[in-house]
Structure 1
């Protein structure tokens, strides 16, 4: 009976975590390049009272045994890197990756990776994120630039007033063997970890890397309807676990009220 109190409490904690993840997904449903998260859970240890297959005193065999679970715990919160929808913009510095891969930027003194392609220019003419992190390899746009085009293979061409070519650069795409292992740092940035493996940087459209395009942005891959359903499921599961705690408390109260 006491065990059910703790099992119910672990269930409430798990559903609280699930609701926290849903809340963050919904909060970022309009964030450029955002990737939703999904919680994973696993059952805890079991109290074994009778082992299946054990021989009984009568010479028979126990068919199923008796094991009582001790609750649930979170085993991970996974980033889901499915493709988000695209929206067309009028900004020539809005880039999108169609398929796998990330843009590499310099954040402080380290390389970070992002799916958000809402780039702009800094005071020196370099392509940067809204937070000022420069796209790598660094690309400087001449002040005389009028038109910027980006091909699917990452070739960026800058045209002047009379349609003469002012500069030609190459934008690279980085891929990971396990993108779900990346560490989210906020600001639409990810840091590589042992779990994600090292970045493999290359030409867009080659070796499994996605292609590039400008005048488009990738939107969040969050489905508001799906998250609302998950929130309702989590709420009801939380209520059910709280009922378990209340029922166990009521049973203990009854036992304590017994008189000899």
Structure 2
């Protein structure tokens, strides 16, 4: 009798409706991956092997397979939200237990850790105070909100043009307070070891053809002493710098910080018959700064921006991928865990080794296609009705047999 086939068909259609219903209910779940019920036919075993005219005894659910296709990317206003465009999973630390997710909705907890809505901590490579990443084992990522330590100026790079048409002046006549005793000057803001700002001035006096004395002052005080040059720049007949372009200036400070020792580099400076100009004048020091914001790059690097105009690496998000993602075990709350079937996780930085890239201030939508699911629901309903009809028909046949006299 075909009651068994019809009953297995009813069960299979009901399971299919369950899968479709779960897909539809999660159509708005960020990072959700839709599932598909896959079926297999069933045949009875025979002691002598299956014959050519064997009749199947129904259907069974072979597996419920998730479809790890890419969902749409939607922009958000949260800088901690991240969407994976491509393969891979976020690696989460749930109290020591490692889990994986595609949902990129994150926030900061009271300790500064990047966490998901259930409190799991996002893992990656942490950075020290100097912004150097520790690329060993991934660890929970935290946003360090401490002030950025000031850096004393150690280098000053200057590219100038000194006017070759200037009239040579006696070196002994230089007086920083008398503009008639020098040809031109520059001023650069430099910083001591405590982050205090100072003004380092340089003065240029042409003493002979192709020869210029350089004098310096810090906050209006001559260094090393009044009337003593810190270097002499020499130029050839083509106006190119030939000597004196690299020298060191030590400026004492009165703020309790260490003296400022700056190495000047005038490489590229010229002496042409045109007006004095400053093409480049920069230095490597800065004052302390507070964290003003941060952004996450496509490679997972978390870059902090500070109020002093500097930036520093705060960490790097890592992703994990598997040889067989369908072997992962679903744990709920948008999480999966590895199994023997999935294989071991392959951990790496985004945009490397087949892993996708990250897009910050965005999330990956569910990959459920509602239109397709509603059509599948109608099909599953018709299948259920057809299997019920086979049972009804078999019942009528059996009733006929019972009524024979």
TM-score, with length taken from structure 2: 0.58
SS at match of 2:385: helix
Counterpart of 1:75?
A: 62
**Distance in 2, Cα, partners of 1:188 & 1:70:** 37
**Distance in 1, Cα, partners of 2:374 & 2:305:** 46
Task: Sort the Cα spacing of 1:188 and 1:51 in 2 relative to 1 into closer, same or farther, 3 A.
Answer: closer
- Does the 8 Å contact 2:90/2:101 carry over to 1? yes
**Distance in 1, Cα, partners of 2:5 & 2:321:** 41
| Cα drift, residue 156 of structure 1 | 1.2
| Cα drift, residue 69 of structure 1 | 0.9
- Does the 8 Å contact 1:92/1:147 carry over to 2? no
Counterpart of 2:3?
A: 5
Counterpart of 1:215?
A: 361
Aligned length: 245
| Cα drift, residue 91 of structure 1 | 0.5
- Does the 8 Å contact 1:145/1:166 carry over to 2? no
Counterpart of 2:41?
A: 43
| Cα drift, residue 125 of structure 1 | 0.7
Q: Does 1:122 align with 2:268?
A: no
**Distance in 1, Cα, partners of 2:10 & 2:360:** 46
| Cα drift, residue 167 of structure 1 | 4.1
Identify which of 205, 217, 221 aligns with 2:351.
205
Counterpart of 1:254?
A: 400
SS at match of 1:123: coil
The C-alpha deviation readout for 1:103-131, integer Å capped at 9, x for no partner, is 00012331000000000011101100011
- Does the 8 Å contact 1:36/1:80 carry over to 2? yes
Larger Rg: 2
| 1:150-229 alignment, distance < 5 Å | 150-229=296-375
| Cα drift, residue 51 of structure 1 | 7.0
Q: Does 1:231 align with 2:377?
A: yes
- Does the 8 Å contact 1:97/1:218 carry over to 2? yes
**Distance in 2, Cα, partners of 1:132 & 1:100:** 24
Counterpart of 2:144?
A: 142
**Distance in 2, Cα, partners of 1:254 & 1:164:** 90
SS at match of 2:387: helix
**Distance in 2, Cα, partners of 1:51 & 1:115:** 46
Counterpart of 1:32?
A: 30
- Does the 8 Å contact 2:143/2:314 carry over to 1? no
| Cα drift, residue 222 of structure 1 | 0.2
- Looking at secondary structure, tell me which structure has more helix per residue: 1
**Distance in 2, Cα, partners of 1:20 & 1:162:** 57
- Does the 8 Å contact 1:146/1:161 carry over to 2? yes
The C-alpha deviation readout for 1:66-93, integer Å capped at 9, x for no partner, is 1211000011000110000010011000
- Does the 8 Å contact 2:81/2:361 carry over to 1? yes
- Does the 8 Å contact 2:301/2:313 carry over to 1? no
**Distance in 1, Cα, partners of 2:45 & 2:89:** 46
SS at match of 1:205: coil
